Structure 1
Amino acid sequence: MSIQNLAGQSLGQYQLKELLGIGGMGAVYRAYQSSLQREVAVKVMSPELVSQTDYIDRFYREARTAAALGHAHIVPVHDYGVQGEISYVVMHLLTGGTLMDRLTQQAELGLPMPSLAETADLLKQLASALDYAHSQGVIHRDIKPNNIMFDNQGNAYLVDFGIAKLMTASRVLTSSGVLIGTPPFMSPEQWRAEEITPATDQYSMGVMIYALVTGHVPFEADTPHGLMYKHLNEVPTPPQTYRPDIPEPVSDVLNRAMAKVPSDRFPTVTAFSQAFDKAIQGMPGDKTNFFAAP
């Protein structure tokens, strides 16, 4: 069975209408929930993974963990279930696209990057969501542009807690030694398969904000091993290399968020956001509408 060809089928009360995307855990569909007469997003797990205990447990863990999170900038999970060899999670449908969509469009069309003020506003939204999740014992572990979605008003949401793990069980859950994350955004402790903490999410957020400020990730290499070496041993390329107008305090804030040692980072993601906001004071606040719905 191909999870890419389920449009027209039903999972319980959810009628799958349109394939929206494919990811590491499965596929996401636009669907119609007949009981409440509304559109939702349904994430379908790859059938070949269902028989693998670690994957199915991770799937259920995602659903239970994400469903328990309630925050203005975290996508709500409505339901989850199993039908035959298919496991699925039902989420609020967001139609404003992802941050990766915007970055791709910017690169293809040569559009301006967001202003520092717009980037600061995005960081503020996501920082509040992450600090809330951290207060609930949940670490995202895979902050990246594909996991930031928008509604039609340009409000940002964190999505896909599919690899989130409760901090209290982190040692058990990482015992397999499997690296979880996306290489350009992975923290040094993820590369080393060491203990994961809320500071891990802050590092990845720092990489993402650096990319929004400069149009580049701070470390680039041709291979995952090359990326690992740079994340572990090198300092980020100064943002001024790409944008000479970036003030030095912004570089200092980004460097602290991406410090190699977790304890050297800001105490919370909100503290990172506040420091970034302070560092850009006096900079032009031009509105580019970068985060508006495409």
Structure 2
Amino acid sequence: MRAPSLQPGMEFDGYRLEEKLHTGGMAALWRVTDLRNRHAGKPGMENGVPPLIMKVPLLFSTDDPTAIVAFEVEQMIMPKLKGPHVPRYFGSGDFDAQPYIVMEQIAGESLRARFDRSPLPLEEVVQAGIQVAYALHDLHRQHVIHLDIKPSNIMFRDQLAVLIDFGLSRHDKLPDLLDEEFRLPMGTGPYISPEQVLGVRNEPRSDLFALGVLMYHLATGERPFGHPTSVSGLKKRLYRDPIPPRSHRPDLPPWFQEIVLRCLEVQPSDRFDTAAQLGFLLQNPDQIPLTERAEKQSQDGLLSVMKRRLKAAGKEPVLGHSISEQLAKSPMIVVALDLTHGTEALAESLRSVTRRMLQTEPGARLACITVRKTSRIGMDESLIQQGENIHVKQLVELKHWARPLQLSAGKITYHVLEAPDTAGAIIDYAQANEVDHIIIGSRGSSAIRRYLGSVSAQVVAEANCTVTVVKTPDQKA
């Protein structure tokens, strides 16, 4: 059945169509006015209702029901989403009348505009990668895999990435209508992951593959896998590795190539465990352990490609884990240490607790941090001159403390933070890096600490993640 032709000025369900903004492959976007002013005063709307857009599915194509099913998926998922990395949802209409979704209109341009200017400066590429990585992590924590990450589906609001268009997405707690009704790969050719080509829709690291394609293109101006339009063309990424980014652009640093090629690995287990871990390493490139990926200068030889092609032939992977399980087995853990003023007994207690936690969380990434306290007004000149040596000394102490944990280089990083407020620095670090768990020591309970408040108590009170406070055996007594 053909949907009625929508025109500016039309009204239904208390909304008036003002202007058609865009027509895509599956839906049209309209700027609308809420004639009933029904959203003012709701939580988050204290400063007024933002400009609204209405998404209306294109129902005229009876040969391809994908548009209808994808719209049903988006109607199910959008009311479940919240936070700064998704548009605010305001309502929807059913198919028995006029189907639509009303949401916040994100001001500004999509990431698509930057692709026309690629290759971009490295710093701009990295900043975009960081923002999208943390947007994806926030989405994954809400049980959703996007599965259609591409430039036009990434907007920016207040310098934060906002993900849009959830028609091809998978919610871990809702029926997957697309998987139930279709067998062909769902996604956008250049960005679709190898497992999506094979029909797998429950792998959150598929979004990391797409982000790797984005960063590759932004940095080099080239697509790593071209723009295939057939299933056979898509399947080439199961065995054909991309040209290394530095072959296109030699000035790119080895660590950037390491990150991008790791994102583009065929096997999800060879990519980063979570989007948060990817975002963390993009912010800390000096902590990235380099492998042969970093120095790669050309594609693999014919023999390697043929071996992978034979291995991929007829492959039908089935991934049994959920998004929640993947995130739960790959937490970001921080251990906050004061090796300068703390006791050896406390350092050993912290190491013991950390070791036990890592044994129960083998997929975890550990960040060892210490805070070098600085003056709020200014530092003594001699301290400034010696500051780098102090910084290096504390970094060496962190590595010495962690050596008995015997973690691989890819699972541990070290950071000396400089700040006037120790607790504040730990809390800010945890928030900026999507930390799941903080381990921190308590040096005792003197009268001064009880009166002024301890660092560990402030971290417990203000951190937005789990905090474990460790005491020495004599303190427990």
Question: Which TM-score band applies after superposition, normalised by the shorter structure?
Answer: 0.7 to 0.9
Amino acid at match of 2:226: E
Which moves more between the two structures, 169-178 or 84-93? 169-178
Deviations 1:198-250 (A, max 9, x none): 01111111111111111111112564346414311111211112211001121
Contact 1:256-1:265 at 8 Å conserved across structures:
yes
Larger radius of gyration: 2
Greater Cα shift, 224-233 or 235-244? 224-233
Q: Which amino acid aligns with 2:200?
A: E
Unaligned runs of 5+ in 2: 38-48, 288-477
Tell me, in whole angstroms, the C-alpha distance in 1 between the residues paired with 2:21 and 2:269: 39
Measured in 2, the distance between the counterparts of 1:41 and 1:211 equals: 30
Deviations 1:57-95 (A, max 9, x none): 542331231221112121222211137553100111123
| Distance in 2 (alpha carbons) for counterparts of 1:97 and 1:212 | 16
- Counterparts of 2:3 and 2:251, CA distance in 1: 49
The aligned runs of 1:144-293 (5 Å cut-off) are 144-151=150-157, 153-168=158-173, 173-175=178-180, 176-220=182-226, 223-225=229-231, 227-279=233-285
Distance in 2 (alpha carbons) for counterparts of 1:205 and 1:231:
15
Matched letter for residue 215 of structure 2: I
Q: CA deviation at 1:270?
A: 1.6
Preserved CA contact (<8 Å) 1:6 1:16: yes
- Deviation, 1:50, is 9.1
Aligned length: 274
Alignment check: 8 A CA contact 2:69 2:177 kept: no
What secondary structure sits across from 1:86 in the alignment?
Answer: coil
1:119 partnered with 2:125 = yes
Task: Report what 1:129 is aligned to.
Answer: 135
Identity %: 31
Question: How far apart are 1:171 and its partner, in Å?
Answer: 7.0
Of residues 62, 73, 76, the one that matches 2:88 is 76
Inter-partner Cα distance in structure 1 for 2:4 and 2:105: 19
Kept in 2, the 8 Å contact 1:74–1:159? The answer is yes
For the Cα contact (< 8 Å) 1:73–1:157, is it kept in 2? yes
- Aligned residue type for 1:188: P
RMSD in angstroms over aligned alpha carbons?
2.8
What is the DSSP-based 3-state SS (H/G/I as helix, E as strand, rest coil) of the residue aligned with 2:94? strand
Q: What displacement does 1:262 show?
A: 0.8
Residue 291 of structure 1 corresponds to which residue in structure 2? Answer: none
Residues in 2 aligned to 1:133 and 1:2: alpha-carbon distance in whole angstroms: 32
Alpha-carbon distance in 2 for matches of 1:65, 1:267: 24
Q: Whole-Å Cα distance in 2 between the matches of residues 56 and 88 of structure 1?
A: 11
With normalisation by structure 2, the TM-score equals 0.52
Q: Is the 8 A contact 2:18 2:31 kept in 1?
A: yes
Compared CA separation, residues 91 and 257, structure 1 to 2 (3 A): same
Kept in 2: contact 1:77–1:90 (CA 8 A):
yes
One-letter amino acid of the counterpart of residue 207, structure 1:
V
Change (3 A) 1:172 1:70: closer
Q: Which residue matches 2:115?
A: 103
Q: Specify which of 49, 56, 60 is matched with residue 48 of structure 1.
A: 60
Task: Find the residue that maps to 1:90 and give its secondary structure.
Answer: strand
Q: Which has the higher contact order (CA 8 A, sep 6+)?
A: 1
Deviations 1:25-45 (CA, angstroms, capped at 9, x unpaired): 210111112223763011001
Deviation (angstroms), 1:143: 0.3
* TM-score with structure 1 setting the length: 0.82
- What secondary structure sits across from 1:183 in the alignment? coil
Partners of 1:181 and 1:21 in 2: CA distance: 20
Name the CA distance, whole Å, in 2 between partners of 1:164 and 1:39: 25
Give 1:49 deviation, angstroms: 6.3
Q: Structure 1 residues 277 and 237 mapped into 2: Cα distance closer, same or farther (>3 Å)?
A: farther
Of 261-270 and 123-132, deviating more is 123-132
Distance change in 2, residues 1:161/1:241 (3 Å): same
CA distance in 2, matches of 1:61, 1:172: 7
